[in-house]
Amino acid sequence: MLVNKKNLSDLDPSNKGHASTYSDRYFSEPIPKYEMPDRGMPANATYQLVHDELNMDGNQSLNLASFCTTWMEPEANKLIAENINKNFIDHDEYPQTEVIHQRCVNMLARLFNSPKDKKSIGTATIGSSEAIMLGLLAHKWSWINRRKKLKKKYDKPNIVFGADVHICWDKFARYFDVEPRIIPMEVGRYTIGQKEIARRIDENTICVGAILGTTFTGQYDSIKEMNDYLVKIKKDKGWDIPIHIDGASGGFIAPFVYPDVEWDFRLEQVKSINVSGHKYGLVYPGIGWLVFRDESDMPKDIIFNVNYLGGEMPTYTLNFSRGSAMVIAQYYNFLRLGKEGYARIANSVIENAQYLSKKLVDSGLFDTLNPTQMLPVVAVKLKNKEKFTLYDLSDKLRQRGWIIPAYSLPPNADKIVIMRMVVKENFSRDMADILFDDIIQACEKLGGKKIDKEIKKFATRGRVC
């Protein structure tokens, strides 16, 4: 007998307890999309509906567009589930979470070589964007305070950074009313150094931004060179211009793979560093970190004290409420992996990136834009003019499930279109072979030049046993 189908809202969920998930009418009638339904639906049907709809999203493991972590160990997942309902800001109610948070800040400050005679401070944030805005705000206020002391005007702050920055730097300038002095890129130069900042800084510069692994090509700005120059400027002109390091991705790679590269608090003018816990910190989104070299670098003006959660509590994040789970997951990784474990993973992702990059270059189809491989990012452009563009290739690869973006570089290098693959922990050598094979096949299907048989031999599916 056919069940008489009425409106969804006429169904009494309590009568439906016996029904199997897909036998409900919720699966054969439209679901209210833009107005909250008058009545709810059974939990199993709701779960299945939402779950099924989300199958339309991309496969996280094939998402090479994002730097964000897509895999964690089952024990970490368990800790996350256990702590998902704790509001991080409730320090009085969840004091141990705050202790763990402080431990993480301490570990990071030491990892970034904070000076022994200083008292570093820092905080967890939702991601690097929040950490960067907060760090730059601190530098704005420090600059205002310095100007006030000197009885000088403080109405025209500026900030100097390259066009290789992430959009959150531009957001900071606009949201917080600071003139951005953006250094354009050039064909062949996709980072910045001393020469580029020299012409732009002055006594109103609140900070110079330096990137430890740009979002575009994965290369590092010339940080030591900029630091040495700013130290000299401090001596010569008395301008004490801090550097904020955007270590969103590189902050968890450089200390382990390139420990001798000086980019952190070993350098005098580096006063603050952000890093994304949810990138190579190997935690799911959203967790970022901001660390100041010394507590004096975080002016009191941006610290607020609140008492409405119990005890007296200082707060200086842009967000108030947030989940605790990712802070705890970060601590899990620190204990679980230790420096040795992070180094093992960081080296392995770099090696896999080098492997894929070399195969692509050896195919004769691509040139690399990230030859130094300081970040596990494969950034390539087409070597020759082909019948297809990298946008076409990106689109074609999507048919196999790969999510690999193609985009143009920032001004004045915006004529160059590149494709970028972020190699993460769960992108194995095996996956690199499959991807290479798919790229070669996609190029051929798009009418690209016939790939040499020798190259094809390397491709997984082309291999003869």
Ligand X SMILES: Cc1ncc(COP(=O)(O)O)c(C=O)c1O
Is 146 exposed, middle or buried (CB count within 10 Å of its CB: 0-12, 13-18, 19+)? middle
Which of the residues 222 through 261 are near ligand X (CB under 6 A)?
246, 248-249
Q: What is the 3-state secondary structure (H, E, C) of 122-169?
A: EEEECCHHHHHHHHHHHHHHHHHHHHHHCCCCCCCCEEEEECCCCHHH
Nearer to ligand X, 178 or 287 (CB): 287
Letters for 185-214 (x = contact with ligand X by CB under 6 A, - = none) are --------------------------x---
Shortest CB 39 distance to ligand X, Å: 38
- Assess 288 for contact with ligand X (CB under 6 A): yes
**Subset of residues 308 to 347 that bind ligand X, contact rule: CB under 6 A:** none
CA distance 66 to 353: 15
Please give the structure tokens belonging to residue 38.
């008058």
| Radius of gyration of the chain measured on its C-alpha atoms | 25
Residue 172: closest CA among 161, 183, 164? 161
Residues 260-279 that bind ligand X (CB under 6 A): 276
Binders of ligand X in range 101-130 (CB under 6 A) = 127-129
CA 316/CA 130 separation, integer angstroms: 11
The amino acid occupying position 91 is H
Would you say 120 and 291 are in contact if contact means Cβ atoms under 8 Å apart? yes
- In the list 67, 143, 331, 427, the residue contacting ligand X (rule: CB under 6 A) is 67
For residue 405, the minimal CB distance to ligand X (Å) is 12
Site map (CB under 6 A) of ligand X, residues 163-182, x = contact: ---x-x--------------
Considering the complex, state which of residue 45 and residue 168 has its C-beta at the smaller distance from ligand X: 168
Cα 176 to chain centroid, rounded: 22
Q: Is residue 422 within the footprint of ligand X (CB under 6 A)?
A: no
> Of these, 142, 158, 215, 227, which contacts ligand X (CB under 6 A)?
215
What is the CA angle 209-212-217, rounded to 5? 105
The strand pair at 205-211 and 158-162 is best described as: parallel
User: 128 or 191: whose CB is closer to ligand X?
Assistant: 128
Least Cβ distance, residue 72 to ligand X (angstroms): 17
Cα 274 to its chain centre, rounded Å, is 10
Q: How many residues bind ligand X (CB under 6 A)?
A: 13
Neighbours of 464 (CB within 10 A): 4
- Residue closer to ligand X by CB (options 42, 218) is 218
- Check residue 416 for interaction with ligand X (CB under 6 A): no
From residue 14 to residue 53, the character string flagging contacts with ligand X as x (rule: CB under 6 A) and all else as - is ----------------------------------------
Q: Residue with CB nearest ligand X?
A: 127
The structure tokens listed for 333 are: 């990784």
Provide the binding-site residues for ligand X, judged by CB under 6 A. 67, 127-129, 166, 168, 211, 215, 246, 248-249, 276, 288
